[in-house]
Structure 1
Amino acid sequence: MTYKRLRDLREDHDLSQAELAKFLNVSQRTYSYYETGGRDIPIQILIKLADYYNTSIDYLVNRTNSK
């Protein structure tokens, strides 16, 4: 699931939700919703996350297992 990947990537990089939210210019609560599936993730945020983690959007949205 996309949401688990977001959490796993964040934790693998030793980041808090607040730190990543600041980088993405969203509130910590909004980022938390992204990780739990409570809110759809805008494409602009997916692009930033893919660039930050040096991975593909396809990986983030669970269309592939290849980073």
Structure 2
Amino acid sequence: MKESPVSRNIKTFRDQNGWSQLQLAEELNRSRATISKWETGNETPNMEALIQLSNIFDVSIDYLVGNHHQQDAYVKEFNRLYQLQKTDDELLEVVDYLKQNPKFKKSLHMYTKLNVKYQKTIEKNFRTLVEDLS
């Protein structure tokens, strides 16, 4: 079968959490073979499984199944919440990245709790690193 957004996302989120297929299967009370079928696109999770997966991975079902790119309602709400006059595509990409990378999101959250001196040091080092890579 053809890989779908949901199959790709299940594998991505499982990998990001450092779980094997068996570990995810145990968490969901399913078999490892079922997880494998979901990840290869040979089967699609039913609604109950999608709800469990979205809770475990801490993402919406829409996001899990691939309906997350520039949704009008989402963008409007985001703009309203953050009082943006127009869509900030870079900010949306960052939010999208953080949703897909929960470990980095936790690290970034820890960064926001540091005092300003440490934040400035980290920002300087990060800029240097990114400049060296580009």
Aligned AA for 1:61?
Answer: V
Q: Which of the two has greater helix per residue?
A: 2
Is residue 2:41 matched to residue 1:32?
Answer: no
Aligned AA for 1:36?
Answer: T
TM-score norm. by structure 1 comes to 0.91
Is residue 2:12 matched to residue 1:8?
Answer: yes
Task: Give deviations 1:26-62, integer Å, cap 9, x for gaps.
Answer: 1100111011111121111110110111110001100
Query: Which ranges of structure 1 fall in alignment gaps of 5 or more residues?
Result: none
Aligned AA for 1:4?
Answer: R
Structure ID, larger Rg = 2
Give, in whole Å, the separation in 2 of the partners of 1:61 and 1:13.
Answer: 18
- Where in structure 2 are the equivalents of 1:1-67 lying within 5 Å? 1-65=5-69, 66=96, 67=99
Q: Runs ≥4 in structure 1, deviation > 2 angstroms?
A: none
What is the RMSD of the two structures over their aligned residues, measured on CA atoms?
1.1
- Greater relative contact order structure (CA < 8 Å, 6+ sep): 1
Aligned AA for 1:24?
Answer: L
Aligned length: 67
Q: Percent identity?
A: 34
Query: Which ranges of structure 2 fall in alignment gaps of 5 or more residues?
Result: 70-95, 100-134
Give, in whole Å, the separation in 1 of the partners of 2:24 and 2:16.
Answer: 13
Query: 1:3 offset after TM fit, Å?
Result: 1.0
